[in-house]
Amino acid sequence: MFTLALGAGISVAPAAGCFNTTSSPKAPSEAEEAGLPPDVSQGSCPSGWYMGAGGACFIDLTGQWSPSADANTGAPDTVASLGTVNATSVSVVQSHTGVDNAECGCNAQHLNIPLGRTFPCATSMLEFEYKTTAVMQPLDTPALDIRFCTGACPVVEGGGGPQFYDGPQYVGSPFAPMASNCAYEWENEAGTSSLNYFPASAKIETGQKNTIALGTYMAPTSGDACTGSFDTIDVHLQVYNCSAAQTGTSTLSNLRIY
């Protein structure tokens, strides 16, 4: 911390992320020095973000969401329809059009989001809220998959399954530690049967804030944790079901990285 003398002809560069837009010189706050969003009195958020209560900057979730046939999908029987979308939250509605208990799959709605700045995995925090009304059975669980990339995230990166992604990512399910057919990419590299298993995913607490230190988060089983740095995320709201009775809506809200 330091203090500028009044009238000093020194300007202070704004902190990365949310920043001060006032024209007069001003010493950075402790939050700014730590790279955290400022309070309302100190300015505004970068383009593509919005300011919430208390001045925290959140990622704007509006955009061109599109369907994604995620890992462990053999047919378009599981439908992930886009629900309500606004800056604060996005929801996905699941339904099933195939033969009950015979045709199952994991599908999603996803959105690539440029963040407007670079975040180091070692010191950054991921924060969000999640809730679901999905009717579940063991293994048939909705999930959240957030992929960390430099530039636009690839749609497919290696592996034999549809939309298989094995890069840095966060994966979680509100039903963990129950194993999920969807909450972690199906380990079916090149169709090798010995790798066809569904590992447990990270636990998402529903109806409350989830905060994950990316530097200490280790993706279950594969080790596809967040390393290095990233400037883009690809958010996948995943659903998995095997019958028409397994309906519901899953909602992600108040997403931020700092």
- The more confidently predicted of residues 142 and 196 is 142
Sheet holding 229-241, edge to edge: 66-68, 105-120, 229-241, 143-149, 169-173, 202-203
Looking at residue 252, what DSSP letter applies? Answer: E
Distance in angstroms (rounded) separating the CA atoms of residues 192 and 70: 18
Q: Does the structure show a pLDDT above 50 at 41?
A: no
Do 241 and 98 form a contact (C-beta atoms < 8 A)? no
Identify the residue whose tokens are 């939250």. Answer: 89
How confident is residue 183, by pLDDT bands cut at 50, 70 and 90?
low
Query: Which range among 13-22, 104-113, 156-165 shows the weakest confidence by mean pLDDT?
Result: 13-22
Q: Does the structure show a pLDDT above 90 at 73?
A: no
Query: Which range among 8-12, 165-169, 222-226 shows the weakest confidence by mean pLDDT?
Result: 8-12
Distance in angstroms (rounded) separating the CA atoms of residues 254 and 57: 9
The average pLDDT across 122-127 equals 96
| pTM of the predicted model as reported, rounded to 2 decimal places | 0.77
Average pLDDT of the residues of the chain:
75
* Percentage of the residues of the chain whose pLDDT score is greater than 70: 67
Q: Does the structure show a pLDDT above 80 at 88?
A: yes
Give me the pLDDT at residue 188, please: 42
Give me the pLDDT at residue 37, please: 41
Do 68 and 81 form a contact (C-beta atoms < 8 A)? no
